Structure 1
Amino acid sequence: MAWTAIVVIAVIVGGLLGIALYGLMGLSNPLLGVLATFLIYPAFAMLLIWLGTKLAFVPSVLVVERLRLGAGVRRAWRLTRGQFWRTFGIRILCWGMIWIATMLVAVPVQLLVSWLASIVAGNGDMGDYLAVTRAGDAVASLIASVIGAIGLVVTTSTDALLYLDVRMRREGLDLTLARFMEQRRPTTRFDPAEPDPYHPPAEIPASQLRAMPIDDTRGSGWG
């Protein structure tokens, strides 16, 4: 909740500052206002893309590793180091697919509404035309909301899978989990003495690391 609130507040404040700056530049000089349109909005969009990609793993880190907010932000920032373009490419591909799916549904609905409106209001009655148009807009908005809800689940799952993939590539999380399941007592549901396999490697005590088997031929999994 805290992270969501911070993101929402940052976007609102950033948008208001951009609008205020654009308005001041437009009032001082109309030509400068036109130039600001091609400078402020692209710069703001690039900043959002960069920060959104660098901090994409913050929710996953907070939930999986149970770190505090500040530590979680620093941890997510480090995980995306060297993985920016890969993370950005996969996320933009996911968003693009959801946008295309929304358009594939919304455009036929709009065409159908226009066709029905022309038939119902064939006598030129604007009341019937507006009624059909408003009903069609409501249906289109409902369909877009459903697709958007599904898309939110997909994009969130994509970020979580990317987070796990980065940890498996860099820290051998898959090997850590496999060794954890091998050494865990089958009859034990929860043992406080057991190390949490999802914690970052630096946070696991050295005594627990030495107690974990390392006979996997792929290495220790912490590199």
Structure 2
Amino acid sequence: MDFAPSPLPDTEPPRDCPRCPRLVAVREALRIEHPDWWNAPVRAFGDPDAWLAIVGLAPGKQGANRTGRPFTGDYSGDLLFTTLARYGLATGSYEGSPADTLALTGAVIINAVKCLPPENKPTPEEIRTCRPFLEGQAGALPNARVFVALGQIAHQSIVKVLGGKLPKARFGHLAEHRMPDGRILIDSYHCSRYNQNTGRLTREMFEAVFERALAVRAATGA
């Protein structure tokens, strides 16, 4: 399988990052079980000159941990990349593989946690341990003035990275927060299979997040 290069190579953790013992154990077991998978910290994907940064939670087992590209190969990617294409933020064809022709323009995807957590649930300590990588990637995106957080964990991590205060920036779908340096954070429920299947997140609700991001950009010149 081909694996997509990072648009922010100087900010990525090493392939054998040792920081989180529980996540290292998962990675090592999967390297034995599935030696042709990525099975490493998942790199950023998209446009290094992006005005919009999308913050995900962590790689999924059958998705990014397998393919090496955020949201690629699992259910959540179908809605995300279809939506990005609808609003002119993606070109090419998404086929669930980094070998497809998908490219992001004006947008980049970064994760709060770089490695696959069991049951998609990183511990608070793992989230804190991985935050320096999120901080490095946010700092390496000078043109990113609008951020979209997919889910509460991503929201909490990026608020801290951007210098905000959680009591003043509470998570909620379509909630909007101005960070101390003027950057804008917009929240969304995560585009997970569970959220879509239960109706917690509909296509229209998800599209509204990106419509708002475009409106913020137009209003602020971001």
TM above 0.5: no
Greater helix percent: which structure?
1
TM range (shorter): under 0.3
TM norm structure 2:
0.26
Name the structure, 1 or 2, with higher relative contact order (CA <8 Å, separation 6+).
Answer: 2
The structure with the greater share of residues assigned to strand is 2
